[in-house]
Amino acid sequence: MPSAGYSLTLPDITNIRYAPSTGKISRFHLQYKRWVSTQNTPNNKGYLRINIGRRLYMEHLVGFFIVMGRLPRVGMEIDHINGIKTDNRWCNLREVDRHENCTNRVEHRSGRIPGPAFIKDRNAWRSSLQHLGEMFRMGNYRTEIQAKIVYDCAWRMVYLGKVNELREACKNLKLSRSEKRYVEFSKIFKRHDAGESAKGIKKIF
């Protein structure tokens, strides 16, 4: 979602709370003196919105602002990784450019899992991502799910500002066997606290 035209400030959200693990937003109810979860319905584009100061804001934008303390950078948008626009869990949100966001939408419409690409001559699923014009190649994996989890974890590292660490990992593990590569990647993601996706990589590998 484009960031232009939004002017959220910290005073606007002093009575708003975001739960990264569930994606739910709650508001402090002055009358009942407690936090109350919002029960909003999607707009005509499928996004949840919340009224703040008599103005409607996308809930995923509010969640991003609360966690990061800023709006998306110029030219960047907030993408729902799994394509479900009402799933505002932090592990499902990422900051991408317009091209990457639109690519994700096309892949979901075609029934594909965004991220992995099947390499026919190698009979494997390749995991890679592009960030600010730089391509990160995390290698090939036996299954689409494995490649997807590595892809999601890599995006979490990008969010955490661990771009240099991700770049170094891609370089060092480039020639490793696939089994060793995804095990080592899982250790790297866990070490850098790369979000909930790191928990999933441990279960599968």
- DSSP summary character for residue 96: E
Structure confidence at residue 87 as a pLDDT band (50, 70, 90): very high
Give per-residue pLDDT as tens, 177-201: 666 676 777 677 666 654 444 444 4
> Which of 114, 42, 44, 103 lies closest to 77, judged by CA?
103
Read off the tokens for 21.
């693990």
The pLDDT, as a whole number, for residue 130 is 80
pLDDT score, position 184: 73
Structural domain spans, the chain: 10-75, 115-204
> Token digits for 197?
């996706």
8 A C-beta contact, residue 182 and residue 141: yes
Q: What is the pTM of this model?
A: 0.54
* Amino acid, single-letter form, for residue 177: R
DSSP 2: B
Q: pLDDT tens digit string along 20-67?
A: 999 999 988 877 778 888 878 888 889 999 888 778 889 999 999 888
